[in-house]
């Protein structure tokens, strides 16, 4: 497994939009549309999808989930680190498991496929719907103890699930 991430697209910083939040949202939404709306990625030969509703300001639910954080959907706030990495989920989904760790995880009422960079600093989560997968979320993992928790989860899953 490669520890290099030079295959990931460049970040899209807020400064590229002159610090203008509205322009920035449109720029990163354009990237999301190109990667997930106009062209659906594939995972293990299955079609990738995303959650459209509820649409907010004409943008799909998955987009807002990818660029914000918070436990309650109605109270999520933008996260610039997530925003900057809006182009990362697609190559991670398509490239796995060559350059990322991949494991299955049961979530309450749902089967998930979790993908992480080798150092567990960035995670993409798919909901497994059998014939297709839904991009659920993606996020940076800054705290070392959270990275270690993910590493242990991955190791346990490899033993019980094998390669997804």
Structure tokens belonging to residue 141: 């993992």
Rounded Cα distance between 65 and 77, Å, is: 10
Structure tokens belonging to residue 129: 């719907």
Rounded Cα distance between 99 and 87, Å, is: 16
pLDDT in tens, the chain (164 residues): 445 688 999 999 999 999 999 999 999 999 999 999 999 889 989 999 999 988 889 999 999 999 999 888 778 899 999 999 999 999 999 986 778 999 999 877 889 999 999 999 999 999 999 999 999 999 999 999 999 999 999 999 876 544 44
Rounded Cα distance between 126 and 157, Å, is: 15
What is this structure's pTM? 0.90
């Amino acid at each position: 497994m490669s520890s290099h991430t030079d295959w990931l697209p460049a970040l899209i910083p807020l400064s590229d939009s002159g610090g203008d939040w509205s322009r920035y949202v449109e720029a990163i939404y354009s990237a999301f549309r190109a990667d997930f709306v106009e062209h659906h990625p594939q995972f293990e030969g299955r079609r990738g999808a995303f959650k459209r509703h509820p649409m907010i300001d004409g943008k799909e639910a998955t987009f807002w989930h990818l660029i914000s954080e918070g436990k309650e959907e109605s109270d999520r706030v933008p996260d610039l680190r997530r925003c900057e990495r809006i182009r990362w989920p697609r190559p991670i989904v398509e490239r796995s498991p060559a350059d990322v760790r991949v494991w299955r995880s049961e979530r309450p009422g749902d089967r998930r496929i979790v993908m992480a960079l080798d150092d567990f600093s960035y995670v993409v989560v798919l909901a497994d719907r059998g014939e297709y997968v839904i991009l659920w979320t993606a996020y940076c993992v800054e705290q070392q103890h959270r990275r270690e928790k993910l590493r242990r989860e991955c190791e346990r899953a490899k033993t019980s699930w094998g390669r997804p």
